[in-house]
Chain A
């Protein structure tokens, strides 16, 4: 490991020039990256483990709310009876739950349509501003 970084010079003056040290670290990382010294495949695989929670599903995947989920019970012996009870309760409450879920889904989809339409409009405007700029420079 070379120890010739800029910080070395100022260390003798009882100071650590951290900005210089950081600049050297950044330069070394850039050099190693350009030289392909990092095991990119391994890094990608490891990063994937930490990226799970960061992945944001597109709103389209989240827009439809399900009114029924699989029913389970972890309780031994009485588990099947618990599931049966939950199923019965779900059926009894369906007159209340289904319309509310239906309304929520209509709202989600309407909002999404508006969002996508605004996105398209913004794209058009950005393109138009860019084209005008190109013409002015041309």
Chain B
């Protein structure tokens, strides 16, 4: 197949979940013999949309990458006016929504390239759902456009132009059944769609003991990997770990291994409990997960949640939020994680995991089996190829 992925940012230095997924898909499809290219912008920062990389063509891990300059610079004043309105739960109105989308790195040359590329590829695949490259790009040739939305239940998913782009696409490629339910709730009748998900390599060698020695970890730890912001419920992770360690635990306090960046700082009572690792490499992240009693992921803004799978592969079960359909679905179907509704339930789960290493081990095994069965690359690529063929009627 000849395929073109369209994403606003592309490259190994981009840390977003959707961007990682697109790069994985593109590289794996290219390695499987498909003719794959990636159309993207010169931006690497989705807050500034500054052209940080030169425009032009290059090849990265078998994928031809074509970069185009962002031609409408970010209007920071507009963003500053619109964000408080959204934060207050209010609507921007049709004009405001269009302006919001057009303030996310519009590149006219990219849109022209999409139009020129469409006739010579079997499908254009766009991700994620909310940026101009997808909302405006998928409208160029909707009959050839498949969207990998990586949808979250947030204000942007209710914008009229965003919903029009999703409804108008030839098909949607979704990560989980729970994401499909969310899409149906937001859009009503869905265009043709398939659930594919992300792929993972079998468990790599990890060194949890070495991590504990290197970081002088002298007690049980829980791991958090992700953006440290309220949108990801990192404040709840801090709160639950603090309440557990200072008031609820029957087995003493725990440390929190915090990985990733973000604006949220722990309050005074949480600070001594947090081991701030900042941005770490993938290997170090797996070692930290392996050194932990469980990985804690309380975000409700997930369309897949890679960190759960990586935790299981590294040998640690998951604790997720009862209100997140996606992570809860993974845990219920795998048996590799538990969902909690409040700090008391969190404490009960952590106490049980500490008291019962056998239960913990069984959960890890169950999670590993789930990843190996459902999200091995052979299965994922098979589903992805079938989805593209069926959705664009090739």
Q: Is the CB of B356 within 8 A of A1?
A: yes
Residues of A with C-beta under 8 A to B345 = 25-26, 29
B339 within 8 A of A: yes
Which label, helix, strand, loop or mixed, suits the secondary structure of the A interface? helix
Q: Bits for A40-81, please: 1 = Cβ < 8 Å to B, else 0.
A: 001100110110110000000000000000000000000000
The B313-344 residues at the A interface (CB cut-off 8 A) are 322, 331-332, 335-344
Q: Bits for B363-387, please: 1 = Cβ < 8 Å to A, else 0.
A: 1011000000000000000000000
- Give complex CA distance A19, B250 in Å: 23
Q: Is the CB of A46 within 8 A of B348?
A: no
Tell which of B243, B270, B331, B344 touches A32, judged by Cβ atoms closer than 8 Å: B344
Q: With A33-B344, A38-B248 as given contacts, are A18 and B269 in contact (CB-CB < 8 Å)? A: no
B238 within 8 A of A: yes
A21 within 8 A of B: yes
Interface bin, chain A:
20 to 34
Residues of B with C-beta under 8 A to A5 = 352
The B219-235 residues at the A interface (CB cut-off 8 A) are 230, 235
- Give complex CA distance A43, B363 in Å: 30
Q: Bits for A19-42, please: 1 = Cβ < 8 Å to B, else 0.
A: 101100110110011000011001
Tell which of B235, B332, B340, B359 touches A7, judged by Cβ atoms closer than 8 Å: B359
Residues of A with C-beta under 8 A to B337 = 18
Tell which of A3, A16, A49 touches B362, judged by Cβ atoms closer than 8 Å: A16
Interface bin, chain B:
35 or more
- Measured CB to CB, the closest approach of chain B to A55, in angstroms, equals 13
- Measured CB to CB, the closest approach of chain A to B278, in angstroms, equals 22
Q: Is the CB of A47 within 8 A of B362?
A: no
Q: With A11-B362, A49-B268, A50-B235 as given contacts, are A25 and B355 in contact (CB-CB < 8 Å)? A: no
Q: Is the CB of A22 within 8 A of B339?
A: yes
Q: Which residues on B are within 8 Å of A, measured CB to CB? A: 230, 235, 238-239, 242-243, 246-248, 250, 267-270, 322, 331-332, 335-345, 348-349, 351-352, 355-356, 358-359, 362-363, 365-366
Q: List 13 A-B contacts (CB under 8 A).
A: A1-B356, A5-B352, A15-B335, A15-B366, A22-B322, A22-B340, A25-B348, A29-B342, A29-B345, A29-B348, A39-B247, A46-B247, A49-B269
- Nearest first, the 4 A-B pairs at minimum CB distance are A16-B335, A1-B355, A50-B239, A49-B267
Q: Which residues on A are within 8 Å of B, measured CB to CB? A: 1, 3, 5, 7, 11, 14-19, 21-22, 25-26, 28-29, 32-33, 38-39, 42-43, 46-47, 49-50, 52-53
Apart from the given pairs A15-B366, A16-B336, A26-B345, 14 other A-B contacts in the complex at a CB distance below 8 Å: A1-B356, A3-B359, A5-B352, A16-B362, A18-B331, A25-B338, A29-B345, A43-B248, A43-B343, A46-B239, A49-B268, A50-B235, A50-B267, A52-B267
